[in-house]
Structure 1
């Protein structure tokens, strides 16, 4: 069907697919030439994880299986467990980076201006975005159960909101990133980024990709072989064109690079390598690594 705007859309129909029982799902899986060796384990996974969530891992097996070694449902469960543990490891890095960013943003601007710098619209490029941000601050403070914020309102009438270091602990990572992006003076943004030893333009790109990754992890979504729609700018780190920016590999490079700066003695990368070694049959090239992934330069930088 063609619309008046000239676009083509498929004719839609009513959704009428029924919900399937475990046995019906098993039949569906086996019709795709995927073996099920342990039905009790498979039943448990269907009840606690769901076929919908596992289907992405099953599809990976179908697309990458060796004819001499037919894929199994248990293989999909192994990939699921790897992805789950990878998300936990990524979250560990994200936590430290997010806290460091919040701290640098709040402390730098508070020392340059005042503890309530974020209320000053003249410090920001876009006044409408700043006004919307203030409504977010208001909502966060009104609904907060943090003792420090409650204590502020018991003791003070002005300013209407607590100092920066209290407020920014109660705002989402995404809101903090938006505030950083709206700061008017490049010099101030450079001071905030000095902790990470990166230019503000690079940090904005990286923070946006990490926010996306954080949301994926928070919703327990697949990350290991995802094609990321929001990706970090990394070409400047390589002598040749970098063509893996939309892979998990690119996200891991950013996490590792920032962690090395804010936590020099961290052993995060060694935990990542240990995790990958424990799942030897995974096609790690789908993450963006080379087939001989242990020789990748990622481990030696």
Structure 2
């Protein structure tokens, strides 16, 4: 509340900007000094990419401190779209690289920990650093399995209401149970109560796996961490993880 009242003294006012259609957006840009050679193409672009989304890419080309947001002389619409396209492509490349590193990290942890410490190695608190919230990890996974079971039970009820033979209903239920491992494991196995480590590493997000002050959650004493990081660094350095970049 203190922050809210502080903002009240910073010249706040009632919002009164009208919503305008694409042709009006084109006219507004022209009034601000933007050069638009092909208005039909510009309209097509703004129908696919909203004016609001494009706004941040306008700022580098606008006159500094101008309350009317006028563009610098000679600025064309094509410059805005090129900057937008560059940013879009850069984000796609970055996300592709991040995804490859993330998948490789999960795989390297799984390939080392499973064979060396068993299928359910992550249930042993001794495998983790002291700062890691081990109980939260287990609770998150348990919650995910329970939510998957609840969804499955609701689907089974819908299947039971179908006008179909019992064999067909049973087949549909088996198919639904296989749609995710969070469903499959608790409907197939009763011990141990949680899924194996290789499935856990794929089902949980990196955020779920990093409930600690440091992202490094495994104990270095297990000789796991150094080996995983070494293999990961070699994969990145050699380009094997980023072959498409």
TM-score where L is the length of structure 1: 0.56
Residue matched to 2:152: none
Per-residue deviation, 1:168: 1.3
Q: 1:157 to 1:97 in 2, by over 3 A?
A: same
Helix, strand or coil at the partner of 1:15: coil
Residue 209 of structure 2 aligns to a residue in which SS?
A: helix
1:181 to 215, 229, 234: 215
2:121 and 2:9 map into 1 onto residues whose CA distance is 50
Judged with a 3 Å threshold, the aligned counterparts in structure 2 of structure 1 residues 15 and 186 are, in CA distance, closer, same or farther, namely farther
Indicate the residue corresponding to 2:18 in structure 1.
18
Q: What is residue 231 of structure 2 aligned with on the other side?
A: 195
What is the match of residue 81 of structure 1? 85
Q: 1:52 offset after TM fit, Å?
A: 0.8
In the other structure, the counterpart of 1:30 is 30
- 1:159 is the counterpart of 2:192: yes
Shift of 1:262: 6.0
Structure 2 unaligned regions, length at least 5: 65-70, 149-177
Correspondence 1:106-121 to 2 at 5 A: 106-121=110-125
Contact 1:57–1:76 (CA under 8 A) maintained in structure 2: yes
Whether the 8 Å CA contact 2:100–2:241 is kept in 1: the answer is no
Q: Which residue of 2 aligns with 1:259?
A: 236
What is the number of residues matched between the two proteins? 204
Match of 1:126 in 2: 131
- 1:125 deviates by 1.8
Distance in 1 of aligned mates of 2:122 and 2:80: 48
| Corresponding residue to 1:171 among 204, 208, 214 | 204
Shift of 1:148: 4.4
Match for residue 48 of structure 1? 48
Supply the distance in 2 between the matched residues of 1:108 and 1:196 (Cα, whole angstroms): 13
Tell me: higher relative CO, structure 1 or 2? Use CA pairs within 8 A at least 6 residues apart.
Answer: 2
| Paired residues of 1:119 and 1:134 also in contact (CA < 8 A) | yes
| Stretch of structure 1 that moved more, 154-163 or 185-194 | 185-194
* Aligned alpha-carbon RMSD (Å): 3.5
How far the C-alpha of 1:112 sits from its partner, in A, is 4.0
1: distance between equivalents of 2:207 and 2:180?
Answer: 23
Q: Aligned in 2, Cα 1:125/1:61: closer, same or farther, shift over 3 Å?
A: same
1:182–1:47 distance in 2 versus 1, CA, 3 Å: same
Asked if the contact 1:36/1:72 (under 8 Å) is kept, the reply is yes
TM-score (norm: length of structure 2): 0.67
Shift of 1:156: 1.6
Q: 1:78 to 1:141 in 2, by over 3 A?
A: same
Change (3 A) 1:264 1:133: closer
Equivalents in 1 of 2:198, 2:16: separation in Å? 53
Q: 1:156 and 1:91 mapped to 2: Cα distance?
A: 36
The Cα of 1:49 is off from its aligned counterpart by: 1.1
| Contact 1:124/1:183 (8 A) holds in 2 | yes
Q: Distance in 2 between matches of 1:50 and 1:143?
A: 37
